[in-house]
Amino acid sequence: MLSGNKIRLRAVEPWDVDKILEWENDRKNWRVSNTMVPFSKELIMRYIENAQDIYTAKQIRLIMTLQDKLTAVGAIDLFDYEPHHQRAGVGILVEKEYRAQGFASEALEIIEEYALNVIGIRNLYCNILEDNEQSIRLFEKAGYVQVGRKIKWFNDHIDWLDELMYQKVLV
């Protein structure tokens, strides 16, 4: 079990389909997931069945729960896994009512230890829109360093935003 003081990370289970569907189809989350159309329940079910082996799918999603193991408060993903270069992207989502309680920081600590000591990932990266101050603070506090900036990279239908690139070398 991957756990910390406040939360646990567990594999996605079939009963998570409705919660994942809710997260993926929340248009507020689309700007960070680069989604333009809703996901179907069938598509999410297929994802749950097929995308839980990081070595074949090159990604894995873990559900963040409270210590009671029942209450899902978010999810953390490793994606774009490159075994040869020992790197992956990391993404995190915390339900609005559970934000600013240390769950995201703890999830990052847990996933970093798992990535390094179980999978053999030495490098994690993330991309954050310049106006996402909460995520910038989270990743900087966790030791991620800004290594680049993509200028006017994201069209939010009001203006163009820069995307910041962060990286953390785990060893």
Of 151, 169, 171, nearest in space to 161 by CA: 151
pLDDT digits (tens, 9 = 90+) for 1-56: 698 999 999 988 888 878 877 777 666 655 665 666 666 777 767 777 776 788 88
| Local structure of residue 12 (DSSP, 8 states) | -
Handedness of CA 89, 94, 100, 104 (dihedral sign): negative
Which domains does the chain carry?
A: 2-113+120-126 (3.40.630.30)
pLDDT digits (tens, 9 = 90+) for 138-149: 999 999 999 999
Question: Which pLDDT belongs to residue 25?
Answer: 66
Query: For the CA atoms of the chain, what is the radius of gyration?
Result: 16
Q: Which two tokens stand for residue 171?
A: 């060893």
Average pLDDT, the chain: 88
pLDDT at 76 over 70: yes
Handedness of CA 169, 5, 118, 55 (dihedral sign): negative
Specify the pTM. Answer: 0.87
pLDDT digits (tens, 9 = 90+) for 125-137: 999 999 999 999 9
